Structure 1
Amino acid sequence: MTDMLTPVLTADWGNDRAWTREAYEQTGGYDALRKALTMKPDDLITLVKDSGLRGRGGAGFPTGMKWSFIPQDNPKPKYLVVNADESEPGTCKDIPLMMASPHVLIEGVIIAAHAIRAEKAFIYVRGEVLHVVRRLRAAAREAYEAGYLGENILGSGLNIDLVIHAGAGAYICGEETALLDSLEGRRGQPRLRPPFPAVEGLYASPTVINNVESIASVPAIVRGGIEWFGSMGTEKSKGFTIYSLSGHVKSPGQYEAPLGITLRQLLELGGGMREGSELKFWTPGGSSTPILTAEHLDVPLDYEGVGEAGSMLGTKALQIFDQTTSVVRCVLRWTEFYKHESCGKCTPCREGTWWLVQTLQRLDAGEGRHGDIELLLDLCDNILGRSFCALGDGATSPITSAIKYFRKEFEAGMHTPSSWTFPPAASTLFPQEVAAK
């Protein structure tokens, strides 16, 4: 089964001091940069566009196409912003990538900045992960010392500065326009679009915003070429990606595999479900994507396959839940998170998530009222597509999909607390004596 893995971004994670420039250079690090510096910016954009690389942050938008949207006739400076505000529940790929291989991200940043003709780049990191901020800043210092960053990079005449910015720890700042507001020193809230960031982004200048994994994949494409990258994945979802496997499995972790692998195959790689477990439901891309069930074990985990199954690939955060888990309680926890993290700018999200939590709390406590399920669906319908950003839409996805597949559990909430049917201790990932410590 291990031959299904395609270690590229994770290939060096087990090496001694893999995060240092010296270790990175020993495995070919910054060779792609040297090659990219001999290429014209437009040729780099064409290379990434033709490779079929799609954004690894959730939406799956073609990366090269996003780069090509930058209006080069605009006299204002161009900016590259890397969204490293990883905060989607269940998502845990970017943080280990930045910890283990910060230089692959920095090399990708320099190449991408060259492609869009930007002289200033930012990596916006989630504020709580100070260890990642420190590691990135240390790696950036090493890159400056080696002449990979700063003025006249490797004698090419190219000037690029990199800022590692620590956010204040707000989920909403993972939304790209809220992230830009935060970078500018304002409260992180989504902007009205248009204008889009490519035309008027950071400091009202043309800006490209990409996910960590998207940018980190660029050096490998420059080095390996289009055919090599296209030899992995599917026709419309090409290349490799990192799947985050967590929950009721024997070996949770990061599994770098070609797009299109199935959950059944990933579970085999992860040793299967924990002892006595049967798959009940799972998320393909974090808690904001519609849940799927055991009937979807063989769905190709690419953008098209998951979409046809009624969900979204998102961040490839595969949260696995077995028969001990209460769907109502799980969805309630996610909705409480979205209620707490709503920026409050728009009424559907601010008020709607509050009412969703109130209704779900009643059902979780076994105190549901007649019509509560219909109320949940009506609330979701009034939030979906009517909120300022995707937070509202994401808050509705697990609820509507859970009712679709497990309506009886919601109906049971009219008279039976979920803790009676599904004792929390049964679904915990750790033995009670360990949890007590």
Structure 2
Amino acid sequence: MGQLHAIEISPTLATAVLLLLAFLGGKVAQLFRLPSLTGQLIVGALLGPAALGLLSRELAGQGLQPITDLALMILAFTIGEKLEISVLRDGTRRILAILFGEALGAFVLAGLGTAGAAILLGTFASPGIAVAMGLVLGAIAIAGSPGATLVVTKELEDPGPLGRLVLALAAANDALAIMVFGLCLAIANATLGGQVSPLDMLLVPLLKTVGAVALGLLGGLLIDVVGGRFHNRSDVLIFGLAIIVGCGAAASALAVSPLLAGMAAGFAVVNRERRDTRIFRTLGDFAAPIYVLFFALAGSHVEIAAFAAGGAIGVAYIAGRFGGKIMGAAAAAPIGGMTLREGVRAGICLLPQAGVAVGFLVEMERQGALQEISAVAHPIALAGIVVAEVIGPAAARKVLAGGGCDRG
């Protein structure tokens, strides 16, 4: 263990070892009927700076950041493909009902639970700070992991109607989470002394969402119109990938969500009347090793200390998020014309959490007025992400493999 820390490993060799071991870890996980990404996450955690140290903090962070960015954009674009209007039209009522039910449940239970625990424990000097933290953590609790959902459904021969419903829900869920988080962050800033006007609280999240969607739609239109003129699949891949990555870079430069932009681009391509979907097919094989590295790198950020630092507030957050999503989806199921059992299963499938939530933590840490709550909220949310990414995909796979949605 100490030897790994002592040896200077080049980024190229570290990437090769990480890719190979994460791939093997995924295969081992599948032997136990677990999603491959669960094994990849565990391998990443073992090789990360908090364990064996094959990956240094610098390498796991900025060193391999381009791989993470590329994977997130490909995942987002691929999820956009699942938002085909003609397919989803019949399920709109179910999607909206479950979406708002699980999101509201997670926001309320995780937010109230963490704020209440912080007040009872006297974590902060005033209850107002605890409430501000509860708002931010409640918003983070809404976020899911469309990438994990996509990988789990791809590993099943037929995910069934529930799988198709959950894919659409996962994509819509993160779009909603981005808006709610922006609003709660602005309110928390105002509560703790930041200069944010009430108008900004409402307009900024809305404008950022609209901007990301508009950017993505433009990128998708370029891929479909220009990329459709190429006859060679390699040309389609190169052009499409350049636009997808460029779309993500432009979104980051404009301080809007790259994930939302990527999903909008995929949505634009798949919903064109005379569409060219070759880009989705060509991305499939290319993205496989990128996905393996992405989930392994996500696991490498695991800090055992994060679990200890979370304490009772962390338990309240994780229990509130899990319980809120499942009970919220179950409560909303009848509104969407679904049974209680179907609602519970849909809620379980939405438990995984990753990319967007990590982005929220980065954004929270950049807020000068929120340093006090960030010191407490960051390890709590990070622990929640780890638990959700280890338990969530396995639970989702079990539910999807067993069916559970009778309507197509």
Q: Normalising TM by the smaller chain, what interval?
A: under 0.3
Larger radius of gyration between Structure 1 and Structure 2: 1
TM-score with structure 2 setting the length: 0.25
Which has the larger share of helix?
2
TM-score under structure 1 length normalisation: 0.24
Higher relative contact order (CA 8 A, sep 6+): 2
